[in-house]
Chain A
Amino acid sequence: MARRELNRRDGHRAVSSGRIEAAHGDVLPGQVSAGNWIFRLGSAFFVAVAALQICSASGVVPIGFGNWQPTMFAFLLWGVALGVSQVLKYGDGGKQTLFVLPALLFTAAMVIFPTIFGLYIAFTDWNLNAQSGHHINGLDNLRTLWGDSYFWNALANMVFYVLTVLVQYVIAFGLALLLNADIRGRKFFRVAFLLPFMLSPVAVSWMIGKSLMENRFGPLANFARWLGWENPAFFTDPWIARTTIIAMDAWVWIPFMVILLLAGLQALPQDVKEAAKVDGASTWQTFWEITFPLMLPVSVTAIVLRTIFELKLADIVINVTAGGPGGATDTISSFVYREYRDRSNVGYATMIAEVYLVLVIIFIMLLLKVANRYMQKMT
C-alpha cells in the first residue's frame, strides 16, 4: 500500500494540514523496520497455515484438521498485523488507514474470495447428492444454460418485473404529492404509508398471497367475486400470477420510493412554485414545468435503487408460488434457489447466478449511463 497524503478536504487546508503533517514526520526508523517485520511475519504465518491446510486437505501431510477455521483465524491475524504495521510505518497516516481498513478487508474477504470460488464451482458438475465428487466440466454448464428454457423464461420475467418499476414510480410519486399537499394528520399518513416496508416479505407472502387471496374465503377473493370475477384464482393464469406477485412486492417497496420522493419534494425551493402561481400557471403546468424537472435527480435515484432491489426479488416468489404456474412467476433468484433445493445442483445453479451477475452489472451500467444522459439533456 502506498503512502497517502494527509490533506484535508476543506478550505482551511493551509492551516491544519501543516500541523498534521508535522505529526506525520515523527516516525522513527526503528518503527518502520518493526512495522515491516510485523507485516512480514503475519503474512508468512498466514501463508504457512493456508499451505499446511491445503497439504492436509489434499492428503500430502496427514494432519487431521476438522475444518478450515485455522486459515480463517490466520487471515484475521494477518489483518491485525497489516493494521499495526501501517501505524508503525506511517504514524498518523497509518492511523488514518486504520479507519477504512477493517471494512475494506471484510468486504474483500467476504466478496472477492467467494466470487472467485463461485467461478470455480460454476465450471464444475458439482452436485451435493453425487457420490463421485465434483469435476471440472468446462463449458458444459454454459451450454446447458443456453438451452434451458426455464432460464430464459425467468430472465423474461425479470424484464417484466423491472419494467413495472416505472408503474411503481408513478404510484409512489402520486402518493408523495398527496403527502406533500397541505393536509392535516400528515404524521399519521406517513406512518401508515411506511408500515408495509417494515414487514418481512415472508410474512407478506402469507398475509396477502396465501390468506387475503385464498380463493375460497379470502377477503380479496370475495371482493373480486363482488366485482364480478366468477372464480377468482390469482395464481393459475400466468399473467395474473405475475401481476399479483409484483403487486405484492410493490406493496412492500412503494413506501421506500414514497419516502425518497417526499424528501425531494420537501426540499424543493418554494419561491419558484409561488412565482409560477403568480404568473398564472395552472397546477398541472406548475407540476410539469417546475416540480417534475426539479425532481428528476431524486426520481432517478429512486428508480435506480428500486431497480437494484427489484433485481433481487426472490422471497415472495419462493414462498407464494415457488415459481409456478409452470415457471410463470420465476425470478432468476427463485430459479437458482429451486435448482439447489430440489436438485442440489450447485455447479449449474452457480453458473446461472454468475451469468446473471454479469447481466445485472451490464444492465445497471447502461441504466446509469442513460439516466445521466437524460438528465443532461433535461437541464
Chain B
Amino acid sequence: MTSEVAAHAVVEEPEETRAAPRQAGRVAGRIAIYALLLVWTFIALFPIYWTLSTSLKLGRDVTQGHLIPWVDFAPAWKGWQSLGLSPDTIFETSNVRDEFLKKFINSVICSVGASAFAIVIGSLAAYGLSRFDYKFGPWRNRDISFFFVSQLILPPVVLALPFLVLYKELALLDTRIGLILVYTLMVLPIVIWVMRDQFDTIPPEMEQAALVDGCSIWGAFVRIVLPMALPGMVAAFILSLVLCWNEYFFASLLTGFDAQTLPVMVASQTGSSGINWWTIAALATAAIAPLLLIGIFLERYIVMGLTVGAGK
C-alpha cells in the first residue's frame, strides 16, 4: 500500500502540487457550508428565542432592545404572572389562567380528537385501497384515491361559510364536536395518503397466511397489519396533530366562546393594543411550547410522515 502511494507520488508529481490549492478550496467550502447552516439556524431560531426571552422582560427591556438575559436585562416573571403561570402565582386562583387553560384544553381535545378520528377512518380506507380492488359503479381504486387526495386542494374558504350556516342549523356552532369534524376533514387526505404508502410497503404474504389459517379479514388487519403499520400511524397522527393545533381559519369562524381554541385566543389578544408585550409573549410561548417539544423530540416522525406520503 505504502509503496503504491509512493510510486504514485513519484509518477504524478504535478498532481500533488495541484492538490494543495484544492485542499484549501475544500476547507473554504466546508467553512462556507457551516457558515450558511449557522445563518439559517439563526434565522429559524431567533424569532422563537425572541418570543421566549420577551416573555421574561419588562417594558423598558423590550423598548431598549435588550436581548440576552442576565447580561443586559434581569429576567422577570411579569408576563407569566399576568397569565397566572409563574412560579409564585401558580397555586393561586387566577381568572386569566382558567381562561387560558380552557382554550388549551379545547385545543388539545379538538386536535387529538380530530387526529384520532382521521387516523381510524383514514387507516381503514387506506388499507382497503392498498389491498382490495373496489368497483363502485364506474369508480375504481384510482378514482377513490383521487377523490380523497383531491380534497387537499379545496381551499378552506369554500367550505367555511356553508359550514357556518349549516352548523347553526345543526346546533354544532361553537362546539368541540363541530370543530373536530371539520379538522378531521382537513387532515383526512393527508392521513390516507401517508397510510396508503405505508400499507403498500408491507408485504401481503403475512395476512394471506393468517387468512389461510382461518383469520377473518378484520382479524388479520387488527392483529397482523396494524402492529406493522404502527410507525406510519404515529407519524400521520403527529402530523395531523400539528396541523390541527395550529388551525386558525375555521376555529375563528366556527367558535365563539365555549369551544375557542388557543390560536383564536392568541389572535384576539394580539389584536387589541392595550395588552402588555410580556403578556402576549408569555401567551405565545405557552401556545407554541407543546409543538416545539413535539418538534424537538418527535422530529423523526414528522419527517417520516411528510416523506412517506410525498415519496411518490
Report which A residues bind B (CB closer than 8 A).
1-10, 12, 15-16, 19-20, 66-69, 72, 92, 95-100, 102-104, 106-107, 110-111, 113-115, 117-118, 121, 126, 174-175, 178-179, 181, 183, 189-208, 210-212, 216-217, 219, 222, 251, 255-256, 259-260, 263, 298, 301-302, 305, 308, 311-312, 314-315, 318-319, 332-333, 336-337, 340, 346, 349-350, 352-354, 356-357, 360-361, 364
Contact = CB atoms under 8 A, between A and B. Distances in A.
B288 interface: yes
Nearest to B307: A263
Interface of B: 33-34, 36-37, 40-41, 43-48, 50-51, 54, 62-65, 67, 120-122, 124-125, 127-137, 144, 147-148, 151-166, 169-171, 181-182, 184-185, 188, 192, 203-205, 208, 211-212, 216-218, 221, 242, 245-249, 253, 262-264, 266-267, 270-271, 277, 280-281, 284, 287-288, 291-292, 294-296, 299, 302-303, 306-307, 310-311
B266 to A, nearest CB: 5
A99 B307 CA distance: 25
Contact of A9 (B63, B124, B133): B133
Given A206-B284, A210-B270, A178 B211 contact: no
A202 B63 contact: no
B162 A217 contact: no
A114 B159 contact: yes
Nearest to B129: A100
Contacts of A259: 302-303, 306-307
Contacts of A117: 162, 165-166
B153 A361 contact: yes
A16 B295 contact: no
B310 to A, nearest CB: 5
A96 B170 CA distance: 32
A375 B287 CA distance: 42
B208 A16 contact: yes
B295 A100 contact: no
A346 B162 CA distance: 9
Contacts of B46: 219
A121 B158 CA distance: 11
Given A103-B124, A308-B152, A333-B249, A4 B134 contact: yes
Contacts of B40: 175, 178, 193
A10 B204 contact: yes
24 contacts: A2-B137, A8-B131, A9-B204, A12-B208, A67-B170, A95-B217, A96-B128, A96-B132, A96-B134, A99-B221, A100-B129, A100-B144, A102-B124, A107-B188, A118-B158, A183-B34, A191-B299, A200-B245, A201-B246, A203-B284, A210-B270, A255-B44, A340-B164, A353-B158
A129 B51 CA distance: 40
Of residues B64, B151, B296, B303, which shows the largest number of chain A Cβ atoms within 10 Å of its Cβ? B303
A353 B162 CA distance: 10
Of residues A16, A179, A199, A305, which shows the largest number of chain B Cβ atoms within 10 Å of its Cβ? A199
B128 to A, nearest CB: 3
Contacts of A96: 128, 132, 134, 217
Contacts of A314: 156-157, 248-249
Given A106-B184, A183-B33, A346-B161, A203 B294 contact: no
A340 B163 CA distance: 13
A61 B138 CA distance: 40
Given A92-B217, A115-B158, A332-B157, 15 more contacts: A12-B204, A103-B148, A106-B185, A113-B166, A189-B37, A191-B295, A193-B41, A200-B248, A200-B288, A205-B267, A211-B277, A308-B152, A315-B249, A337-B160, A353-B161
Contact of B162 (A118, A206, A301, A302): A118
A358 to B, nearest CB: 10
Contacts of A302: 310
A102 B123 CA distance: 11
A102 B262 CA distance: 30
Of residues B37, B132, B164, which shows the largest number of chain A Cβ atoms within 10 Å of its Cβ? B132
A260 B248 contact: no
B46 to A, nearest CB: 8
Nearest to A95: B217
B157 A5 contact: no
Contacts of B120: 102
A318 B120 CA distance: 33
B68 to A, nearest CB: 12
Contact of A15 (B208, B267, B280): B208
A67 B182 CA distance: 19
B161 A178 contact: no
A5 B137 CA distance: 12
B154 A205 contact: no
B135 A217 contact: no
